[in-house]
Structure 1
Amino acid sequence: MPKVIYIDAQDNQFEADVNVGQNLMDGAVDNMIDGILGECGGVMSCATCHCYVDPAWTDKIPEPSELEEDMLGMVIEPQENSRLSCQIEMTEALDGIVVRLPRSQY
């Protein structure tokens, strides 16, 4: 099963198995990773699953949709590599992807 490496704002690293086809938000919630809430359940209406994709992986994931870009405009401390983790679907090619979690916004 592919793995995701989640790194929180204090540089603590957590490795989680995420099924192919599952999004990274659900992977974090299922593995009780603090820092990704996913309050809207992945329908892009809350941005509580905001993350920063490690630059080594940004070219390996699809570009954000216009709706995702709109939601990212509302997050605290957006960066060029900001994404909603609910919009990143796990594939075998993403095994080992690294995402950083922002400082708590809540």
Structure 2
Amino acid sequence: MSTVKAIAIQPNEVRDFYDIDEGAAAYTRDLWSRDGVVGLDWHCFNDGVAPLTVTLDGGITVTIPAGGHLGMDNTKYAIITVTAVQHRLIIAGVHKRRIY
């Protein structure tokens, strides 16, 4: 279980962290270790010609068909990974730990 699952998030808490990744290379972002952020929302556009897979914390996996898009709101995660297919990934979260 991800360490961020136990962190309290208030209903409608303002997202103060946003990031976008565009590319064809595989992408992994550890929001908790790198940024002190609890990921909450994500949306991925598959701009490639093959299906791509989005994985949250190594457990929740979804497949997006070529030319499709999918996202989730209010889903706590620390690590998001996208397979190597042309994509646009938008993520949002809340800072909950200061990184020095």
**TM-score, structure 2 length as denominator?**
0.37
Identify, as 1 or 2, the structure richer in helix: 1
Identify, as 1 or 2, the structure richer in strand: 2
**TM-score, structure 1 length as denominator?**
0.35
